[in-house]
Structures are given as structure tokens and as C-alpha cells.
Structure 1
Amino acid sequence: MCLGIPGELVEMPTDDTDLALVSVAGVRRRVNVGLVRDEEELAIGDWILIHVGFALAKIDESEAQAALEMLHAMGPTFDQEMADFTTSAVGQEGL
């Protein structure tokens, strides 16, 4: 199963990388937006669907909120996933 998590773009890349700063449930991480950036115009405040550090699609805020509600309904499974995400060092370089 592919689990995508919605995140809000906080900062777009200012260099030659595709690494944008994204907020996921209050946790900020660098996410590669290269797969979406070529197809869609992205801006701060946009919502994206993230899987294993890559943005897969641009989504609207209502879709993001619906996905977050569904994830929260998973209870302990989602709580553990967010705890792991919060403590992971991946994507925190340069923050």
C-alpha cells in the first residue's frame, strides 16, 4: 500500500536543487518537489501529497484536510508514523 501524507509548502528551493521545505502536521522537512514542479506551478502555501520524501501530486486544501482526517482516524498507526517522522533525521539537513 502506498501511503501519501499531505504537506504544506513553506519554502521553495532557491538553489539548483528541488528540495522544498514542507510542513507536515507541524513538522518541517525537506521534500523533493521535482516530480511535481515540472508538471505544476508550485507556490508557498500549496499542498502536496508526499511519499518517501518525494512530492507525488499537488492537491487542494480540502483534499489535504480530508486525507489528514482519514490518517488521524487510523489512530495508533498514524500516531506512530508521525512519531517516527518527527524523530527521523532524514530531510532535516540545513534546518
Structure 2
Amino acid sequence: MGILLLSLGGLGWLICWIIVLIKMFKTEKPLLGIIGIFCGIWAYIWGWMNSGKHGLQKIMLIWTGCIILYIIGAIMSGNFSASAHIGTSP
């Protein structure tokens, strides 16, 4: 179940990121779109800041939901607990 949530959240996250990037390139300077490619958090923040102006409310709500699904899936599948075992003996 955790892997399913992780996968669905990650796929939705990727699709929403691409949609916001396309909107960035169409409405802003190309440099902002390029920054959004290399720094996904910038695209996320830009999307929320401009959601009313560019009609991105639904996409940003879906993107936020996908992030939450991804985090829940990672916790359920144990991917967050792996970093706690660094430096310990098996």
C-alpha cells in the first residue's frame, strides 16, 4: 500500500510540475522556467504565488495533495526510516 501511494504521489507530482513549467514558460521570462526545471521548489512556490492570476488553483491543490500522498507512502513503505540507520552496525 505504501509503494502504491508513493508511486501515485510521485507521478502526480511530476505531471503537475510539468504543467506549471509549461505555464511559466508561456507567461514569464524563459529564465524563470529554466530555474523551475533545475529547482522544483521554485516552480511550486511560483505556482502558488500566481495560482489566481494564471488559473492554477486546481493544479496546485492537486500538486500539494500529491506531495502529501508521496510523504505518507514513503513513511508507510519505510523509506523515511532508512536514514536513521546510517552509521550503525547491522
Fold shared by both chains (TM-score > 0.5): no
By relative contact order (CA 8 Å, sep 6+), the higher-ranking structure is 2
Structure with the larger strand share? 1
Structure with the greater alpha carbon radius of gyration? 2
With normalisation by structure 1, the TM-score equals 0.27
